[in-house]
Each structure stands twice: as structure tokens, then as C-alpha cells.
Amino acid sequence: MPRHQDPIAAIATAPGRGAVGIVRVSGRGLQPLVLALCGKALRPREASYTGFLDGQGVAIDHGLALYFPAPHSFTGEDVLELQAHGGPVVLQLLLARCLEAAAQPQPDGQPTLAHLRLALPGEFSERAFLNDKIDLAQAEAIADLIDASTEAAARSASRSLAGAFSHEIHQLRDALIHLRMLVEATLDFPEEEIDFLRQSDAQGQLTQLQQRLAQVLAKTRQGALLREGIKVVIAGQPNAGKSSLLNALAGAELAIVTAVAGTTRDKVQQTIQIDGVPLHVIDTAGLRESDDEVEKIGIERAWHAIGEADAVLFLHDLTRLDTTEYRAADADITRAMAEKLPHTVTVIDVWNKLDSAPDKAPAHGIALSAKTGAGLDALRQQLLALAGWQPGAEGLFTARARHVQALQQVQGHLELCDQHLAQQAQALDVLAEELRLAQNALNSITGEFSADDLLGVIFSSFCIGK
């Protein structure tokens, strides 16, 4: 693609003020630009303290310059990094100077660095992928490491970036290729009396491959959970204690809590972590009939959030269970949830205010007190179990929903392979096709086989300068 031939430049640090800011340039033949910006040549992979010069040779700032000649750089191209003071104005001046210096003519009349332009989101990482410095799973791990919301997610992303997930995928692919080779050999030489598949224990190899795939898929689901977490919505009638429960789970006063019904008019969201798993908890407006226009909008948004949840905590007030009107309203909400919610959304009955009504908790659901904290641990463990988290899992790597889907496709193809292999010669051509499709699904994870539009979606989510 033509744009991948252009040199690119960007500010690689987050917007705002900081002690240090970085301007990064990547392309082919950066030495003339290095001379124009730093006034001297730089030794490869060695930090040099120098001035960063404007067009008149006056220093815009002083800092560290690092030059990484190709192919020994992050992108596989020549890379220049200017580490300056982290003021937004300083960094914008340096970036503008890079573009200006690149356009200036050399003695031969050619520009210092032709076609230098601002980088697109994720373009540095995209070039690292295209130049075989990292695979697609590792590239995604860069963004996951930056976006990690928990320590466990950060450590898992670091393992993926180091290649742990890719190693698992490559092992599966190698075993799959070997099995494909046996099937193709049998198809190519049907006149031979040697039964390649039986002699090579193709059935045993397929069984081992399926078992290994199941293990990798389980770890991948855990990795996806660490990255994405689950969305939990707290719902119920006004004054059931929804905001108090959110505050108790978060360990902070995030939502306003009063005795006035209808205090919460809009949803309040907070991401918390339980054993390193992120949970996006949303407090919603109390569900009831209302003539207040503002409250009606809040209730409508509450139902919308409930419909998009992975789990709903249906909060009941133990102190009002003896009230006929309250029980009828709870029954109406239960019916509405049954009608509106997809079957994939789990509803957990949570009985609040256990401190005020300790003898009224029903046998089902979870009884707790958002005020005292009693029962909160049981709720946390229930949420982890609902998410499918396996405590004590070691060596997890971060993963995404698309990785899980790809591995599930592989699993489906291998199940069909098992059926076709049992039919021997009658279905070997179909068996070979299923193995090929399984390998394509695996390759889509690491990017060895991937459509250009998939690459565009992945890298467009990156930040500028990465």
C-alpha cells in the first residue's frame, strides 16, 4: 500500500503537560533529517544530549535524541526519537520542525525527507507488524497494555506482547499443518498401498490437537475476561439501596445516597476489580411509573442499560417485603425483565438491608447489607463465577473477543474433521478442506492470513504516535 512507504511523524506521549514528551519519526533514510534537527550525526542506539534546532539553528529545546537504524528498531525502519520537556507547545514546535526540515531542499535539490507526514492512529505499530517485527496478536497486546484497567490485565498484556499467546497459536498451527500434510499425502498418492493416516496415527494426532485447543481456548477466554470484564447493572425500585450498593462495591462515594425516592436520575458507572477481573458496574434510576419528565428519561436509560448488561443485580428491599404495593411492583419488574432481556443476560436476586431485617431474607439469591458490608464478599464471588473466572489461573495472556471467536471456529472445524476422518477415503477431500479452514482461522489471530479491513479496524483504535 502506497501510504506505508511514506515516512511518518507524531507525538508519542499522551496529551497534556509532563516532565518528558517524545516526538517519534519512522521511515527510510532518516540521516539527513537527523542532521537538520540535531546539527550532528547520532550514534545508533545511543542516547545523545543535544539541542533540537529550528530553521535558524536556534535550539527549540534540549533533550535526548535516539537513532535506531533499520532493521533494528520497533517499526523495522529507521526511527528517530526526540525526548524533550513535556509541554504541549514544545512538542508541537518540535513536530512542526520535523515536517518543515523534511521539506527543505538538500544541495542536490531533493527534499531532506520526501513525503514525511503525520502518522495515523496506530501506524507505528502497524508498520512493526507489516515489517515482521511483531505479529497481530502482539500488536493488539500493545493497545491492551496501554488500556489495562487492572494489574492482572497489565501483566497478561505484557505476556502477550512478549509472545506467549502467539507461541500457543503457533504450536496449534504446526500440529494442524502436520495433520494436513498427512491427509494431502493420502489424497495425492491414492495408488499407494501405504495407509498414511493409519500408520501416522492421524486420529490420535487429531485428538491431541483438540485437547490442546481446548486448553488454549480456556486460557483465551480468561484472557479476554481480564481485558474486557463484564458489564453489571444494578436495577430495582427506588430506595432499594442501588446507589449504596455501588458505593459499597467501589469503596467510594460515587453516587448520591438519600432517603428521597428517585434521587438517581441517570446511570452512574464505575469500573471496579475483583481478583484482577474488571467489572463495569452501573447504577440506574429506580424502576417505577413516573410523571416527572426527567425521571422518565432516567428510567428509559435504565432499561436500555439493563438490556445491554452481561448480568443484572435485581435489588430488593428486605424492609418493605411485607408491603403489598412493593411486592406487586417487584413482580411487575420481574415480568418486564423476562419479556425484555435476552436469554444470555443473567439476573441475580439481591436482598438488601440485611442489617435492618435479618430474619426476612429468602432462601434464594444473595442477602447483604450495603450499609455494613455483610454479604458483599458472597456477591463478589457470585459475579466472578458468573463471568467464568477460574481463580488461581497461572500464565494468562490477554486476549480479545475475536481471538475467542477464531478459536471456536477452529474447534468447530476440528469436530467436523473427527467425523470425516472416521469415514476414511470417502471423505478425505472434505477433511482436507476443514483442516485448511481451521488453519485459516488460526492464522487470522496472528495476522499471517488477514483481510486488510481487519487490519484497519484493529490499528485505528490505537492512539496517535503508537
| Contact between 67 and 44 (Cβ < 8 Å) | yes
How high is the pLDDT of residue 438?
A: 94
Query: Residue 361 and residue 65: Cα distance in Å, rounded?
Result: 66
Average pLDDT over residues 103-130: 93
Among residues 244, 239, 241, 245, the alpha carbon closest in space to that of 260 is found at: 239
Annotated binding site for GTP: 239-244, 258-264, 283-286
pLDDT at residue 360 above 80?
A: yes
Stretch among 179-193, 305-319, 356-370 having the lowest mean pLDDT: 179-193
pLDDT at residue 233 above 80?
A: yes
Annotated binding site for (6S)-5-formyl-5,6,7,8-tetrahydrofolate: 24, 81, 133, 466
Stretch among 16-25, 27-36, 179-188, 341-350 having the lowest mean pLDDT: 179-188
How high is the pLDDT of residue 180?
A: 86
Percent of the chain with pLDDT over 90: 52
Domains by residue range for the chain, with CATH: 2-134 (3.30.1360.120), 146-225+400-447 (1.20.120.430), 229-387 (3.40.50.300)
Annotated binding site: 24, 81, 133, 239-244, 258-264, 283-286, 466
Annotated binding site for K(+): 239, 258, 260, 263
Predicted confidence band of residue 229 (pLDDT cuts 50, 70, 90) = confident
Residue-by-residue DSSP string for 340-384: HS-TTSEEEEEEE-TTT-TT---SSSEE--TTT-TTHHHHHHHHH
pLDDT at residue 248 above 90?
A: no
Backbone angles phi, psi at 23, to 5 degrees: -110, 130
Return the C-alpha cell found at 156: 497478561
| Contact between 353 and 359 (Cβ < 8 Å) | no
pLDDT at residue 138 above 70?
A: yes
Annotated binding site for Mg(2+): 243, 264
Indicate the pairing of strand 117-118 with strand 311-317: unpaired
Average pLDDT over residues 224-242: 87
Predicted confidence band of residue 328 (pLDDT cuts 50, 70, 90) = very high
